[in-house]
Structure 1
């Protein structure tokens, strides 16, 4: 038993180490946020040009299918990015090239970064598309907006925003809105996860084979959620995918009558890496997921609650399976 628990702790640590850097989710995209950034359209139609908000509002994505060059202008109106047919180029003399390296805009700007200087272009991609942070679309303060403080139960439109683009000598504006949205009732989702954990534990102690089916279903739900996020461009999903697959495998092996340690292992991994790691979706309104927010929260609830229940069931079964200590009495 002790060796099994030690192995579980070691495995969790091994998974956690590579998972930590991935929390940035490709350009510091948040798992969830209180701010909804929406693009309402271009000031005039440009055939072949597509611009949209991605990564829960963390970045804008521009895809240039016009056959020509599209410029993104920086904060002083200087050339910042050029998306050409042969790839994307960044002007290293634009302050935006440095300010936009992080979501918080706190990267140092070198002295040579002068919006009045001639552009110094560097190719950063071979694709005619680019994603970038843009402070014009974000709420840059760490504090909530005054409207949210005074009335936290209703959404508040904070401002309209504009990001200027240029095609040749023609300037086109990408327009959008920034809105603060109130958080969901996080307590309800946590209570649901606890209730599910208790129900799964009860099933596991009464139905020795039925708990294997629970593990397969919960693992499949978590796997589908993580794969959907990964295919939509959300990075850092490998730990959740591995944990969900492990839960499915543990369920199948449990149905075949194998050791309950596998149930403990699969359940703990599912709860930790597909549930607890994404529990921030319970507390914020806007989620980095291509679908309704409740779907994301439900998937995390299943991973967290069912995973905890599976782990507790496996642990209790291991304890009951341990041989009784041998008495030293004659």
Structure 2
């Protein structure tokens, strides 16, 4: 094999290894929300007029909005007062065992005392609250309910069910991502084309991250908290956009390769559950955003490696001619 042929092999290897080796720090989606799940949480009835409940974040949380003008208390797993929602806002009982278990989607945190007097802490100024509730957890074809207490004297209830959600054609999505990556890599000779790919894939990926944060935001943990939870993914998308702008003015092959590998892993692989499960926790177009991150990221990683080795070869040839 000629020296130039070996450079092609090494360049492709650098791109692929860059993607794989960077896979360690992949973080969870949002503030404890999955990017996609294989089921649908349905709310079928709420017995209190003026109170609405829906499943959000792909079923990771329930959201209750109280427009009834009455005090509505969500009762916890042991029948204790857990959340209090009035027209003035929301308070949570931090002595409730359910408050501890609702801190994470797994419900693994323990603590509290159901028999203790409530210790109310105000968390929102509007009558809207979201929380993890293991009563509405992933158990397909099952009914669930959450009891309510209205004005400290009337009982209410939220009823719902959980059903399986058929997944998408996972093979087609991965195939599309691989073909897209090959197409991007074949543009390695054209700097302005790579700049366009970087700008587009970075912008689409950033929109997916921000859109997911907006949909996952709640009164207690707003958009800022959700964006902070996915800070590295957001910075990666921004870095790819910045690299695209930089490529328009100068040759930065190594930078293109690195940010491409980061994008492919942080979002393309990190959020690849959207290819496997039927219910998305983010925007409905999320699969296209993730496939753009995967294809654009791997393609840019390989293209950056190819351009880097081409430049190294030209430098070696120029040096050899100079020596002669």
Counterpart Cα distance in 2 of 1:122 and 1:159? 32
User: Is it true that 1:200 corresponds to 2:184 in the alignment?
Assistant: yes
Paired residue for 2:141, among 151, 158, 182?
A: 158
Normalising to structure 1: TM-score of the pair? Answer: 0.77
Q: Which residue of 2 aligns with 1:186?
A: 170
Counterpart Cα distance in 2 of 1:228 and 1:69? 32
Q: Is the 8 A contact 1:37 1:176 kept in 2?
A: yes
Distance 1:201 1:220, change over 3 A: same
Correspondence list, 1:107-256, <5 A: 107-109=109-111, 113-114=113-114, 117=115, 119-127=117-125, 128-139=127-138, 158-168=141-151, 169-205=153-189, 207-233=190-216, 235=226, 236-256=229-249
Question: How far does the alpha carbon of each residue in 1:55-109 deviate from its partner, in whole angstroms, 9 at most, with x for none?
Answer: 2111112233444421001234332221244543333554323333332333234
Paired residue for 1:318, among 291, 305, 308?
A: 308
Q: Which residue of 1 aligns with 2:66?
A: 64
The higher relative CO (CA closer than 8 Å, separation ≥ 6) is in 2
Distance 1:93 1:40, change over 3 A: same
Distance 1:210 1:290, change over 3 A: closer
Q: Is the 8 A contact 2:206 2:234 kept in 1?
A: yes
Question: How far does the alpha carbon of each residue in 1:245-269 deviate from its partner, in whole angstroms, 9 at most, with x for none?
Answer: 2212222222224322232233222
* SS, match of residue 324 in structure 1: helix
Distance 1:304 1:290, change over 3 A: closer
Question: How far does the alpha carbon of each residue in 1:15-68 deviate from its partner, in whole angstroms, 9 at most, with x for none?
Answer: 976x74xx2632x2212211211223312422xx33221121111122334444
The number of equivalent residue pairs is 290
Comparing 270-279 with 92-101, which one deviates more in the overlay?
A: 92-101
Structure 1: unaligned runs, 5 residues or longer: 140-144, 146-156
Paired residue for 1:103, among 102, 105, 113?
A: 105
Paired residue for 1:297, among 264, 281, 287?
A: 287
Q: Is the 8 A contact 2:194 2:300 kept in 1?
A: yes
Question: How far does the alpha carbon of each residue in 1:178-223 deviate from its partner, in whole angstroms, 9 at most, with x for none?
Answer: 0122332322211111111111111223x33222112212222112
* SS, match of residue 146 in structure 2: strand
* SS, match of residue 53 in structure 2: strand
Counterpart Cα distance in 1 of 2:94 and 2:242? 50
Counterpart Cα distance in 2 of 1:253 and 1:133? 43
Q: Which residue of 1 aligns with 2:4?
A: none
Q: Is the 8 A contact 2:38 2:165 kept in 1?
A: yes
Paired residue for 2:33, among 29, 43, 49?
A: 29
Counterpart Cα distance in 1 of 2:122 and 2:131? 12
